[in-house]
Amino acid sequence: MADTSATNAFDVIVIGAGPGGYVCAIRAAQLGMKVACVEKRATLGGTCLNVGCIPSKALLQSSENYAAATHEFAAHGVMVEGVKLDLARMQARKAEVVSANVKGVEFLFRKNKITWLKGEGRIAAPGKVAVSDQVYDTKHIVIATGSESMPLKGIEVDEKRIVTSTGALELDAVPGHLVVIGGGVIGLELGSVWARLGARVTVVEFLDSILPTMDREIGRSFERILAKQGFTFRLGTRVTAATADEKGVDLTIEAAGGGTAETLRADVVLLAIGRRAYTAGLGLDAVGVALDERGRVGTDAHWATNVPGIYAIGDVVAGPMLAHTAEDEGVALAERLAGQAGHVNDEAIPGVVYTWPEVATVGRTEEQLKAEGIAYAVGKFPFTANGRARAMGSTDGFVKLLADKQTDRLLGAHIIGPDAGTIIAELVTAIEFGASAEDVARTCHAHPSLGEAIKEAALAVGGRALHI
């Protein structure tokens, strides 16, 4: 056990200052522990704040404003002429947003007296973390080293012509034709950014649906909505090779099951086929921390690895690779280290795609309920019948609720629609509290609000929607 009165001894050393690591550090400090956090990046905040959630949302907001000014204002009687894109300014604004956020984490570290150990952390032994040539003693070690973009054989990323999300956030010109490999969250969000700014966007997806892990109806409907916005989808298609030259990339594609090869010419290719756990340089082998079959750090239900005193949270462990999951795990683990009973409810974790309209989902899909043999009732309500959505001019999408057929307990909620990522919160709370569809249906919702579509979908579970 480390004597934490020494300057280089801590109660907890967290490795990685992303949303999992920095939040874990703050909560541990709040609970009276002496905490250090190791981060090798020049700024705190991890993937999320530096090259993920925050810069992507800054560009989504800016590109949405541009698209509204060019295509939507006129319908509202707002006539603007000569709308021009200043991409350099848009990128500079994004950098300002990132900078304010990462500095915010530095402030929180100072406020909570968390020591930032700058550099790459390596677990020298249980209770010992090495950073450069210094070794620090600690009671607990938390691995929060996150994830990295998944590579694809035959596709060499140069972050200029063939980019990951990191390069796609930094383009200094709008590509004429952007080909996205992978119809998942990154492909659709960053595809939307560049489509709104004028790029032709083609999405090549291996499976037969975009967002394939979501409710099937969501994937199919969302594909139609994005197609109306100009996206081209090549589903059931795989990329077998890519050759980049000065001006662009030739991508060889063929049907997923095999078939005649075809060439797609792209100005830029975005590789977005998922992310994988990042454990390089941690020395896990030497210390005996076991990885699972997909290279993630193996843990029990309370984030303990097989080596006593070493824990792991966030993208580096199994589960959804989402910032809020990482944060909640960070809080729960810190509380457990303090002898409390921190817990994360896997059934009530929202997932949001920040396109327009947005896609938001929580709980079980129809496909999962069928596979589990659970009898369910469906309630649906379209935004075309919601007064507020009409006033906004944003009627694409619907709310779909799934409730247990016998008990009426809400099991899943899936929304495509304006601000879906915000209004889903009500349904996350409902699922967290074990609410029934009837509970949601009998809750008074403000008028006119987008949330009324949720109330109507809840009424529809019982076959008694009022406005359709």
* Catalytic residue positions, numbered: 447
Rule CB under 6 A: say whether 354 interacts with ligand NAI.
yes
96-125 positions binding ligand FAD, by CB under 6 A: 120-121
Q: Where are the beta strands (DSSP E) in 310-464?
A: 310-312, 351-353, 358-363, 376-382, 398-404, 410-417
CA dihedral 88, 392, 192, 59 (to 10 degrees): 30
As a whole number of Å, the end-to-end CA separation of the chain is 65
Q: Which does 151 bind (CB under 5 to 8 A by kind): ligand FAD, ligand NAI, none?
A: none
Q: Is 239 in the site for ligand NAI (CB under 6 A)?
A: yes
Question: Pattern of binders to ligand FAD over 171-210, x per CB under 6 A?
Answer: ---------------x------------------------
Contact characters 120-139, ligand FAD, x per CB under 6 A = xx------------------
Q: Which is nearer to ligand FAD, 115 or 147 (CB)?
A: 147
- Confirm or reject binding of residue 465 to ligand FAD (CB under 6 A): no
For the CA atoms of 371, 377, 382, 387, the dihedral, rounded to the nearest 10 degrees, stands at -140
CA 27, 30, 35, 38 torsion-angle sign? positive
Q: Which is nearer to ligand FAD, 218 or 323 (CB)?
A: 323
How many residues form the binding site for ligand NAI (CB under 6 A)? Answer: 26
Count how many Cα atoms sit within 13 Å of the Cα of residue 333 in the half-sphere of its side chain. Answer: 34
CA 223/CA 233 separation, integer angstroms: 8
C-beta of residue 352 within 8 angstroms of C-beta of residue 359: yes
Residue 56 binds ligand FAD, judged by CB under 6 A: yes
Among 9, 12, 13, 17, binds ligand FAD (CB under 6 A): 17
**Encoding tokens for residue 260?**
């005649």
Site string for ligand FAD, 290-319 (x = CB under 6 A): ------------------------xxx---
Task: Report which of 380, 2, 5, 368 is spatially closest to residue 13, judged by C-alpha positions.
Answer: 2
CA distance 412 to 370: 13
Span from 15-23, 376-384, 423-431, 442-450 in contact with ligand FAD (CB under 6 A): 15-23
The stretch among 125-133, 182-190, 335-343, 388-396 that binds ligand NAI (CB under 6 A) is 182-190
Q: Between the CA of residue 291 and those of 88, 155, 283, 318, 329, what are the distances in Å?
A: 42, 26, 12, 10, 18
Smallest separation, CB 164 to ligand NAI (Å): 8
Sole window of 40-48, 87-95, 405-413, 448-456 interacting with ligand FAD (rule: CB under 6 A)? 40-48
| Strand ranges (E), 274-364 | 275-277, 310-312, 351-353, 358-363
Q: Which is nearer to ligand FAD, 274 or 309 (CB)?
A: 274
Q: Is 187 in the site for ligand NAI (CB under 6 A)?
A: yes
- Single out the residue of 342, 300, 340 nearest to residue 319, CA to CA: 300
For residue 145, state whether it binds ligand FAD (rule: CB under 6 A).
yes
Q: How far is the CB of 313 from ligand FAD (least distance, A)?
A: 7
User: What whole-number distance in Å separates Cα of residue 418 and Cα of residue 389?
Assistant: 7
Which has the closest alpha carbon to 239: 209, 272, 216?
272
Task: Candidates 89-97, 144-152, 244-252, 299-307: pick the segment binding ligand FAD (CB under 6 A).
Answer: 144-152
Whether the CB-CB separation of 230 and 223 falls below 8 Å is answered with no
Question: Contact 123/289 with Cβ under 8 angstroms?
Answer: yes
Interaction mask 189-228, ligand NAI, x per CB under 6 A? x--------------xxxx----x----------------
255 belongs to the binding site for ligand NAI (CB under 6 A): no
Taking only Cα atoms into account, the Rg of the chain, rounded to an integer number of angstroms, comes to 24
Using CB distances below 5 to 8 A depending on partner kind, what does residue 121 bind out of ligand NAI, ligand FAD, none?
ligand FAD
User: Which chain residues interact with ligand NAI by CB under 6 A?
Assistant: 152, 181-187, 189, 204-207, 212, 238-239, 272-275, 320-322, 352-354
User: Which chain residues interact with ligand FAD by CB under 6 A?
Assistant: 15-21, 38-41, 46-48, 52-53, 56, 120-121, 144-147, 165, 186, 278, 281-282, 314-316, 321-324, 326, 354
